[in-house]
């Protein structure tokens, strides 16, 4: 099958959608399919086409969902996409966040094959969806199949664009994240290691609640160490840490994809204290696949991944005391950790990219048939369509 994968975000910056597209692309190619990627680009990279990835449309950062999204508003994108689509032949176009400006709508405008849209986001509201809905409806109607990565994502997009959505989750690379990863020797000194992964300055990641939980955790485990992986500025937390005598928080910063599994392997518990606006817990899958016990907030995007008390422990968001109690419980109970790890190991298999890719290929096939059927019906005389419809 000839597949075009579309990301509206700057492909030079890490992010959930870009990682999703990259992993799908790798999986499809390993299965013998022909793929291409089209995505936005950044000024320092420029517009390039290496025959596999076409980077087009200079991206700029815009506030989105308590974070920053790098998308393109370049007016030249529509013309360049038109030229690209005319020169290519695809069986299906798979757009991620298909209504995000400006790349997704431009591709939909010029696509004449089956279009599949995957919606990733879950948030309280979307101003663009609200005010531009009459225009966006025109592009939304060009989708032959619609996918959401979770129930939370489905509920969000369905509130603006009611339709049938199939839930196909994000995936996890079981070749990258597994229990055989080598732990980092500097953390193998017998002290309990608590791991956080994410952009810790973003309010929705809930890192401040984990910091507030640390004094309570330290009252039971005085030598517990917090390891923070991800980008952010740690200065804002230094006064609190110093006031509470917590001098062993390790801010590791950005780590490579090769090293990240080693951090999970070094941890006694992985904590995801997000406050909301998370459509899916990809980092939870990383923890499960790595054999690391998981404590996470009980929010819609996470409870769809973790089964309470089976694969991990879920707690009320924004509650440092509840978070501390859950972490202490996991650290203190070896049998609980073993049960969570064993269950998580089985549970995570359904999220492997091989399984996710097969499910999407089935969606593609149905979208192609649906497109073909619609085209045939539109070609029939109206009186025949009326009798068959």
Q: What is the pLDDT of residue 104?
A: 96
CB 19 within 8 A of CB 49: no
Specify whether the CB–CB gap between 276 and 204 falls below 8 A.
yes
- What is the token pair recorded at 287? 């923890």
pLDDT for 386: 45
pLDDT of amino acid 54: 97
By three-state DSSP, how is residue 103 classified? helix
Q: Tell me which residues of the chain have a pLDDT lower than 70.
A: 64-67, 375-389
CATH class name, domain 185-349: alpha beta
The reply to whether 2-171+353-388 and 185-349 are identical in fold is: yes
Residue range 15-63, pLDDT digits in tens: 889 999 999 999 999 999 999 999 999 988 899 999 999 999 998 888 7
How many Å apart are CA 55 and CA 292, to the nearest integer? 37
What is the per-residue pLDDT for 67?
Answer: 65
Please give the Cα distance from 327 to 158 (Å, whole number): 35
Closest CA to 119 of 94, 98, 139: 98
pLDDT at 27: 97
Query: Dmax of the chain from CA atoms?
Result: 80
| Domain locations along the chain | 2-171+353-388, 185-349
pTM for the whole thing? 0.85
CATH code for residues 2-171+353-388:
3.40.50.2000
- The angle formed by the CA atoms of residues 186, 191 and 193, to the nearest 5 degrees, is 80
pLDDT for the residue numbered 279: 80
| Structure confidence at residue 61 (pLDDT) | 82
pLDDT at 385: 41
pLDDT the model gives residue 376:
54
Residue 143, pLDDT score = 97
């Amino acid at each position: 099958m000839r597949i075009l994968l579309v990301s509206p975000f700057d492909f030079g910056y890490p992010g959930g959608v870009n990682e999703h597209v990259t992993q799908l692309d790798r999986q499809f190619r390993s299965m013998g399919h022909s793929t291409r990627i089209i995505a936005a680009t950044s000024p320092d990279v420029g517009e390039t086409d290496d025959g596999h990835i076409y980077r087009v449309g200079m991206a700029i950062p815009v506030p989105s969902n308590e974070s920053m999204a790098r998308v393109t508003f370049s007016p030249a994108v529509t013309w360049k996409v038109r030229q690209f689509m005319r020169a290519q032949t695809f069986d299906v176009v798979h757009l991620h966040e298909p209504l995000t400006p400006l790349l997704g709508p431009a591709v939909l405008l010029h696509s004449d094959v089956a279009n599949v849209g995957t919606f990733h986001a879950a948030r309280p509201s979307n101003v663009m969806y609200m005010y531009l809905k009459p225009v966006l409806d025109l592009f939304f109607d060009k989708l032959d199949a619609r996918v959401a990565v979770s129930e939370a994502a489905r509920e969000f997009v369905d509130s603006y664009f009611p339709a049938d959505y199939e839930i196909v989750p994000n995936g996890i690379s079981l070749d990258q994240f597994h229990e055989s990863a080598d732990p980092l020797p500097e953390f193998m000194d017998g002290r309990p290691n608590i791991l956080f992964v994410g952009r810790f300055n973003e309010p929705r990641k809930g890192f401040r609640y984990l910091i507030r939980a640390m004094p309570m955790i330290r009252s039971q485990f005085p030598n517990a160490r917090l390891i923070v992986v991800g980008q952010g500025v740690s200065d804002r937390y230094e006064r609190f840490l110093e006031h509470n005598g917590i001098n062993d928080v390790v801010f590791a910063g950005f780590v490579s994809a090769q090293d990240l599994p080693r951090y999970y392997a070094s941890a006694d518990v992985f904590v995801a204290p997000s406050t909301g606006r998370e459509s899916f817990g990809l980092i939870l899958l990383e923890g499960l696949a790595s054999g690391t016990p998981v404590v996470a907030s009980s929010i819609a995007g996470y409870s769809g991944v973790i089964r309470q008390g089976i694969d991990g422990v879920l707690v009320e968001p924004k509650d440092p005391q509840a978070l501390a109690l859950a972490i202490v419980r996991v650290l203190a109970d070896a049998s609980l950790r073993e049960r969570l790890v064993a269950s998580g190991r089985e549970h995570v298999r359904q999220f492997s990219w091989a399984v996710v890719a097969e499910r999407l290929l089935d969606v593609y096939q149905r979208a192609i048939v649906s497109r073909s059927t619609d085209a045939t019906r539109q070609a029939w005389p109206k009186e025949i369509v009326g009798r068959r419809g």
